[in-house]
Structure 1
Amino acid sequence: MPLDHCHSLPTLPSDAINTPMSRGLIGLFACASGLSVANVYYAQPLLDQVAADFAISPAAVGGVMTATQVGSVLALLLIVPLGDQMDRRALMLMQIVALIGGLFCVSLTHSPALMLLSMLVIGLMGTAMTQGLIAYAATACLPQERGRVVGTVQGGVVIGLLLSRVTAGLIADVAGWRWVYLGASLAMMALALTLCKTLVPQRPSGAPMAYPKLLASMFTLLKHDRILQIRGMLALFIFAVLSIFWSALVFLLTHPPYSFSHTTIGTFGLVGVVGALAAARAGILADRGLGQWTTGVSLALLMLAWLMLWLTPYSIAWLVIGVVILDLGAQAIHVTNQSMIFSARPGSHSRVVGCYMLFYAVGSGLGALASTSLYAMYGWTGVCVLGGGVSLAALFFWGLTLRCMPAVHKNSIQLAVRGTT
């Protein structure tokens, strides 16, 4: 029904936007993105229960998250680029059907192999859905409001990610871990109906190309798109910084003087919601041509955050302040990055976001690896020095690229505006 229904709706070409996007539609994109990305992270606080249910070792159950993350990377490389060649609405509806199937299968299966396969599908389709929604929203709005729209939708992604762990823990405590995925499948069914009724087909503006050529064009973008290169490297730095912090935090807080439970530690992620909501405003500044100014201030905030976090062993208040500042700075840069790369490539939003998020994946992986190694050797002080050093490297890199970036970005904005008139 959903796919056939597409043919009875008016098609939305990317060059036919002449009215601002409504607040209701922006809110829908933010909520849908948050729900989609949450599916990828529900498993993190449930691994002990999953291990007991399937009678597998705690070490082996880590494969559940590995399968999900492998699915996420494959989505960025193989599925997200299809949004530049297919009707994004139809593509998302196909993805959400597969996602519902994966969630439902996880809630019922007793086979470890089928569990891992289903988690791969959840990582694949949950990531593809999230990035597809961002690309759809970026294309369906006016160029002069793109930063605000992308910032709001990205805020939904961050909040969905942060709330996913808490929600999963609460449901698992009450009804068991399988109800987390059963409830998620029902939520995605409701979302599928809402998107089917609300969104119109959105045809790609670029010339048709074969699938292998489409994938190869991503490497062409990485090679020649100066804005993508610069903002992608900044993404690598900032997500390495976030991964450095969150990977080591559990080791600090589970030992004296705090000795917190894992549930208590998880609630500190909610503090990041404050920063995420504030960072959504960075998109408005980017729309006003202040993206570089926002980037510089945000990088300075990252440096300040690590000073606050270094004082955490002396008072938990420093941790709260540090988390807010860290998330505010990192998410403000993330929103600004996306606003700039989307403005530079109006006909390649899906491929651009796929390439950009690869920098995110690399940064997160390297940050986690370096963080745990440094903590084992030098403790929390070593982690803070590493985080501050990476933040300083990002600030230095931004300063080196500052002279060439504004002119390139200005020309790209002008081209994007001309393409919509």
Structure 2
Amino acid sequence: MTRQLRALLAVLCAVSVANIYYAQPLLERIGSDLAMPTARLGLIVTVAQVGYLVGLIVLVPLGDAVDRRRLIAAGIAAASAGTLLVAFSATSAQLFIGVAVAGMFSVVVQVVVAYAAAVSAPAERGRNLGVITGGVVVGIIAARSVSGLVADVAGWRAVYACSAILSLLLACAAMVMLPQEHGARPPAPYLRAVAAVVTLTTTSRVFRTKALIALFLFASFGVLWSAMALPLGAAPWHLSPTQIGLFGIAGLAGALGAARAGTWADRGRGERVTVVALVLLLLSWVPIAQTAYSLIALVIGVVVLDFAVQAVHVSNQNRIVADDPEASSRIIGSYMAFYSVGSGVGAITATSVYGAVGWRAVSLLGAAYAAAALGVWALDRSILGRAERSVTDSPREPPDRGGGGGGGTRARARG
């Protein structure tokens, strides 16, 4: 994969995923404009994630059956229709429909990631995924900064109108500039691909573990970014959407700092990256909890949290597609279904808790999700360790028939 192709795929991911996150620094203004109570504002993000979840189940598996280049272009164009509906919504119902449509077709991001995984050489797959999923994080974080700035200048509706225009332009660029995939790829049965999320979850320990980690990982991520605008817009800070959006730059610094996670995963260090990043995610909530007293503490927490989330996310994806890159669409789509559920749960629980109790309780909620992700990792390693010990303790088989004991010892040493 050339550097130019990596850059193009990263931009496609950034612009597509941004559609889901433009609302986060604008929740207060959207709620005021459409007369929505504070406790319901989290539904805007949650509905987007529900749409995203539907798209993961229904649309992403098509990537294993049809030309991914055409699917990418069509998905971006359809997402632009959803953002256009949001821009002209007069009621909360119209807003939710537009947000759901934009979320559903923004799953084109996962088709792009699957495309990259399929065409990458194994030795550079982690690096390519690191750059491209870095584009995803850039899109998520830049969406907050850009939406706040545009909203202060031209209103929150202009954010979605501009996104619709940009998405249409990129849909055309994708059709013209993306190369065809090399080699014949036999189409996968669609219904089997749709059911992959159930099949993989029930049959693959590796997938199940990484998917559950992703669920809690992005629940913690969603707690911060879905509710952060609420305390920053209130006393004592009273920040504008532009000022709130600037905190996305801190998150961007952290996310880009984790871009090498894919390279580390290529070198066999994926599990080390995962556990260290999950510990950092848990610790990041200590300074985040001080938001009412120190914006510097919040910036530190945001940098650490986004670094941790990106590092785990890249390592997870590199691991789950390593064994079957040709099935990358349904594997990544299934994995991202857990991401979507986690993000939606994080958003709705965060705004509900904030409305009822306040920011300290929100911080405890985010830390609890991070602790759950770390617990899933630790439980999996414990189960794996017991399995390896049972193999080591069993009677040795002749070398030409087994060798499991030596493999188990080496695996423990690597672990």
In the alignment, the residues of structure 2 paired with residue 158 and residue 352 of structure 1 have an alpha-carbon distance, to the nearest angstrom, of 20
**Could you tell me which of 373, 386, 400 is aligned with 1:394?**
373
CA contact (8 A) 1:107 1:178 kept: yes
1:249 Cα deviation from its structure 2 partner? 3.2
- Relative to structure 1, the CA distance from residue 166 to residue 333 in structure 2 (aligned partners, 3 Å threshold; closer, same or farther) is same
Residue of structure 2 equivalent to 1:280: 259
Residues 48 and 58, structure 1, Cα contact 8 Å, conserved in 2: no
Cα distance between partner residues in 1 of 2:170 and 2:150:
20
Q: 2:371 & 2:95 partners in 1: Cα distance?
A: 42
Moved more, 282-291 or 367-376: 367-376
Deviation sequence 1:37-94 (CA, Å, 0-9, x none): 11223344456666777xx432488765555333212101100111011111121122
Q: How does 1:182-201 map to 2 (within 5 A)?
A: 182-201=161-180
AA in 1 matched with 2:36: P
Instruction: Trace 1:3-14 onto structure 2 (pairs within 5 A).
Output: none
Equivalent residue, structure 2, for 1:233: 212
Q: For the Cα contact (< 8 Å) 1:205–1:347, is it kept in 2?
A: no
Question: Residue in 2 aligned with 1:12?
Answer: none
Structure-to-structure mapping, 1:376-415, within 5 angstroms: 379-402=358-381
Counterparts of residues 134-173 of structure 1 (less than 5 Å): 134-173=113-152
d(CA) in 2 for partners of 1:218, 1:388:
27
3-state SS of paired residue (1:58): coil
Q: Is the contact between residue 83 and residue 102 of structure 2 (CA under 8 Å) also seen in structure 1? A: yes
Q: Normalising by structure 2, report the TM-score.
A: 0.81
Is 1:89 aligned to residue 89 of structure 2? no
Give the counterpart letter for 1:138 in structure 2: A
Letter in structure 2 aligned against 1:267:
L
Map of 1:57 onto structure 2 = 35
Shift of 1:209: 4.6
Contact 2:61 2:190 in 1 (8 A): no
Change (3 A) 1:376 1:180: closer
Give, in whole Å, the separation in 1 of the partners of 2:125 and 2:211: 18
Q: What secondary structure, in the 3-state scheme, does the structure 2 residue paired with 1:294 have?
A: helix
Distance in structure 1 (CA, Å) of the matches to 2:72 and 2:78:
10
CA RMSD of aligned residues (A): 3.1
Alpha-carbon separation, structure 1, partners of 2:89 and 2:297: 44
Structure 2 match to 1:413:
none
Q: 1:241 to 1:39 in 2, by over 3 A?
A: closer
**Structure 1 residue 101, shift from structure 2 partner:** 3.7
Report the alpha carbon displacement of residue 274 of structure 1 after superposing the two structures with TM: 0.5
> Deviation string for 1:320-363 (max 9, x for gaps)?
11111111112111111111112133122111112111211222
Question: Residues 389 and 107 from structure 1, CA distance in 2 versus in 1: closer, same or farther, beyond 3 angstroms?
Answer: closer
Q: Report % sequence identity.
A: 41
Q: Residue 58 of structure 2 aligns to a residue in which SS? A: helix
Equivalence for 2:79:
99
- Show structure 1 runs of 5+ residues with no match: 1-20, 409-421
Partners in 2 of 1:104 and 1:252 — Cα distance?
29
User: Kindly tell me: are residues 369 and 48 of structure 1, through their superposed partners in 2, closer, same or farther at Cα, counting changes over 3 Å?
Assistant: closer
Distance 1:226 1:374, change over 3 A: same
Distance in 2 (alpha carbons) for counterparts of 1:203 and 1:94:
21
* Alpha-carbon distance change, 403 to 44 in structure 1, aligned in 2, over 3 angstroms: closer
In the superposition, the TM-score normalised over structure 1's length comes to: 0.80
2:68 counterpart letter in structure 1: R
Indicate yes or no: 2:50 matched with 1:70: yes
* Residue aligning to 1:5: none
Residue matched to 1:222: 201
Q: Between Structure 1 and Structure 2, how many residues are aligned?
A: 385
How far apart are the structure 1 equivalents of 2:377 and 2:228? Answer: 27
- For 1:177-218, what per-residue CA distance to the aligned partner results, in whole angstroms no more than 9, with x for missing partners? 444333223322332232222212337976545433332233
| Inter-partner Cα distance in structure 1 for 2:118 and 2:307 | 26
Q: Which amino acid aligns with 1:200?
A: P
